[in-house]
A and B are shown apart, each in its own frame.
Chain A
Amino acid sequence: MTALGSKPCKPCPTLTRPAGAPVYLDYQATTPCDPRVVEAMLPWFTEKFGNPHSRNHRYGWEAEEAVEQAREQIAAIIGADPKEIIFTSGATESNNLALKGVAHFYKEKKNHIVTVVTEHKCVLDTCRYLEQEGFSVTYLPVKTDGLIDMAELEAAITDQTAIVSVMAVNNEIGVIQPIAEIGALCHKKGAFFHTDCAQAVGKIPLDVNAMNIDLMSISAHKLYGPKGIGALYVRRRPRVRLVPLITGGGQERGMRSGTLATPLCVGFGEACAIAKAEMGAEAERLKDLRNRLLGGLRQRLPEIYVNGDLDNRIPGNLNISFAFVEGEGLMMGVKDLAVSSGSACTSASLEPSYVLRALGVDVEMAHTSLRFGLGRFTTSDDIDFAIDHIVEAVEHLRAMSPLWDMHLEGVDIKSIEWAEH
């Protein structure tokens, strides 16, 4: 077993892609488990299968010890005390627990929540749910760079505000909100500060004390750990109290009952230990790869636009609008890449990404966007391949695009009266 923090991680392995599989550039959707993580997990499925809550024998004790070590590894990456880490099934559950838990516990005193329009659906949907229960919610807008305006946040927090929830890193555009400033403001105004750090942990340095964070959601599968586990950090001093979502045996200090999944906890812990050790160097490497991707595309393609601030952004994300080509058509053209599109042109929903819309990106442009997520197993060969492939697809589609023709003729497509359907 890895001694906490002391034993250096094994060197970063490479992952080989099955022949014919697309190059994976969707690291914000999920990440593969690091082979070192899988290795750490394996014994806990078979020979060390005990219930970590069994107090009567060695099987239970060793499992408990493993879970507690994982808790320490997770706490360490955010500067928390291990007692403040509550295991959950993932960031969706953590966000639900933080928002519903705090809202319900403090409802006699406070009934207001502040969040942001670009949050993940699991935060927004939970807020809608709480609105139906009678809570009032303020959804802050973002500026064109994707960041919130601190003055607007300050104005939104009242003495009725129980909790402010602002994500550290956005999953579509990768922008980093000013978390330390937000935390300081929340504490000055007497509101709890929750932050969804699913995309931030292991990518940027975080410290719950320096940043005045009261609650933080974490997801293991975004940082090379297994799917199906996450955590909620819950501050002990001063204490944040929650009404649990799941009741039962009283595990996780009563905040989340149910038998812990030892292998998943161990994998999550190992993933945090690796990320903590490698974060600095990895960030530099990814930034170089991202700059290579953006530079390569800009050099060969006119009329491409980065969505969201480029400086306040995690190194592994790039979100680009390729003007005059539609995102879904483009996805089909880049079939040897696994990427995400901000377009959602299906009969069910003609609405493109609500995040891009919130930045004030035109609907037309939002339809032309792709999200590139780079990560631990991305190589410079992958990036060079991606550049060639994207350039080829965009050129193929622009040659077919009536809008590209209009652009070349100097026609402003906004001046045309389109029959919107």
Chain B
Amino acid sequence: MAYSDKVIDHYEHPRNVGALDKDDGTVGTGLVGAPACGDVMKLQIKVSAEGIIEDAKFKTFGCGSAIASSSLVTEWVKGKTLDEAASIKNTDIAQELALPPVKIHCSVLAEDAIKAAIADYKKKSGKDEAAE
């Protein structure tokens, strides 16, 4: 399968690979997917007192499209509020990376990963009662 230039660029030069301290109260961690399905994404966000995402890191086990989707998402969420980050749609990711139909689920996984990281942060910081 031919990959788009953007997918190749993120694959070869992934942005924000790494980990944040998951025990830090200002860090939210999302772990989605399953090794048996061939894809696992870990996405972490560090949130400032003002509720802005200051930093984001990812690690992904998966195909090139899954790696590119998670790399792209870490770029996108930085500087955003939690609500703004939560509104990122998989279709935006798929469109930006020009993913073919069989790779749409890789972008779905990236959307799920941000949502999971935000939920984890809210739970930890006691803000999860704030209805979405």
Contact = CB atoms under 8 A, between A and B. Distances in A.
Given A329-B67, A347-B101, A347-B104, A401 B34 contact: no
Interface residues of A, number: 31
B38 A326 contact: yes
Nearest to A403: B61
Contact of A400 (B17, B36, B101, B105): B17
B34 A325 contact: no
17 contacts: A326-B66, A328-B62, A328-B63, A328-B64, A329-B67, A345-B38, A345-B63, A347-B104, A350-B38, A363-B36, A400-B59, A401-B61, A402-B31, A402-B60, A403-B40, A419-B32, A419-B34
Interface of B: 3, 8, 11, 14, 17, 19, 31-42, 59-64, 66-67, 101-105
Contacts of A381: none
A348 interface: yes
A364 B14 CA distance: 23
B40 A329 contact: no
Most chain B C-beta atoms within 10 Å of own C-beta, residue among A400, A405, A419: A400
Contact of A421 (B35, B37, B103): B37
B119 to A, nearest CB: 13
Q: Which 8 A-B pairs have the closest CB atoms?
A: A345-B38, A418-B34, A402-B59, A328-B63, A364-B35, A402-B42, A332-B64, A363-B36
A421 B106 CA distance: 12
Contacts of B32: 419
A343 B1 CA distance: 14
Contacts of A367: 35-36, 38
Contact of B33 (A332, A399, A404, A421): A421
Given A327-B38, A332-B8, A402-B31, 9 more contacts: A346-B103, A364-B35, A400-B60, A400-B61, A403-B61, A418-B33, A418-B40, A421-B33, A421-B34
A245 to B, nearest CB: 34
A326 B17 contact: no
Contacts of A421: 33-34, 37, 105
Contact of A364 (B17, B36, B42, B66): B36
